[in-house]
């Protein structure tokens, strides 16, 4: 495993395990246990995934010292205000059974996220959050945010894969020392990623799959990846990317696949923003 150093000196694994769309507590707990047994140390969840308690149960049982794990969770839109965020941070810590989080993210750039960030900055200064960041902030939103806050975000978790490079957002991240983290590094199966001829051909030359090539491409660009699966054999395959490297020519061939758009979600859609506001995770 390789690591990246965040803008506050904290080291973060370049590959982690995500539990989005695994709400069943038994399945989620087992998946996290399998992931940790397979070598993963970064576990990524969110209040809105409704599985923090299951992740916490796995952390308690895994046998790996807490300091070797890197646990991320996220603040939901419903709690995007100063007072609500203070409560949400405590709720997530309690759900996970932890005294501190390694990374806490604003899940969506919606609601009073500036007020929420003030609460996050306080928890960061108190040591309950080792690093704080954002998720789904596009280039313009991230730039405005970085110019408006005291503690610059350590991470921006966005959709990044061979068919959507987020070039503008990546440039802003570089300008402000923000580490990019890719949710959906497989494009959630869109664009035919798993059978793409370019990825498949490059993978064949290294004895790897198209999926492994897609992960390695992001890693070599300094992008943290969090692939998701509940199948242990797939977890192991996704983690088996540290024994090869893509050549500059191979990187360029993959770079040429960029479509400049998401194949998963339109974050600028009014209907999507309304859905985010309407999705309540607690009373």
Q: What positions carry a catalytic annotation?
A: 49
Sign of CA dihedral 221, 260, 173, 190: negative
What order of strands is seen across the sheet that includes strand 70-75? 16-18, 42-44, 70-75, 103-106, 132-135, 155-159, 179-183, 224-225
Q: How many CA atoms lie within 13 Å of 267's alpha carbon, on the beta-carbon side?
A: 14
Under a CB-based contact definition with an 8 Å cutoff, are residues 163 and 193 in contact? yes
Q: Using only the alpha carbons of the chain, give its radius of gyration.
A: 18
205 vs 182: CA distance, rounded Å = 25
The alpha carbon of residue 278 and the mean position of all alpha carbons in its chain are separated, in whole angstroms, by 23
181 vs 134: CA distance, rounded Å = 10
């Amino acid at each position: 495993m390789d690591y990246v150093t965040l803008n506050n000196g904290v080291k973060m694994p370049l590959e982690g395990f995500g539990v989005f769309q695994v709400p069943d507590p038994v399945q989620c707990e087992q998946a996290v246990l399998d992931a940790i047994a397979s070598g993963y140390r970064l576990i990524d969840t969110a209040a809105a995934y409704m599985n923090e308690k299951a992740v916490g149960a796995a952390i308690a049982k895994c046998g790996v010292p807490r300091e070797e794990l890197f646990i991320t969770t996220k603040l939901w839109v419903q709690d995007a205000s100063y007072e609500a965020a203070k409560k949400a941070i405590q709720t997530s810590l309690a759900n996970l059974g932890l005294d501190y989080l390694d990374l806490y993210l604003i899940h969506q750039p919606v609601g009073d996220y500036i007020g929420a960030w003030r609460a996050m900055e306080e928890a960061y200064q108190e040591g309950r959050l080792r690093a704080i960041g954002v998720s789904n902030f596009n280039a313009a939103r991230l730039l405005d945010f970085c110019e408006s806050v005291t503690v610059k975000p350590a991470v921006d978790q966005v959709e990044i894969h061979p068919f959507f490079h987020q070039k503008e957002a990546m440039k802003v991240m570089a300008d402000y020392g923000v580490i990019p983290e890719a949710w959906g590094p497989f494009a959630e199966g869109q664009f035919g990623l798993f059978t793409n001829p370019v990825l498949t051909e490059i993978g064949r030359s290294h004895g790897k799959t198209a999926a492994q090539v897609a992960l390695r491409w992001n890693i070599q660009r300094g992008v943290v990846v969090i692939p998701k699966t509940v199948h242990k054999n797939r977890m192991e395959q996704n983690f088996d990317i540290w024994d090869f490297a893509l050549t500059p020519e191979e990187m360029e061939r993959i770079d040429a696949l960029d479509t400049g758009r998401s194949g998963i979600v339109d974050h600028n859609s009014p209907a999507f923003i309304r859905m985010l506001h309407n999705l309540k995770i607690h009373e």
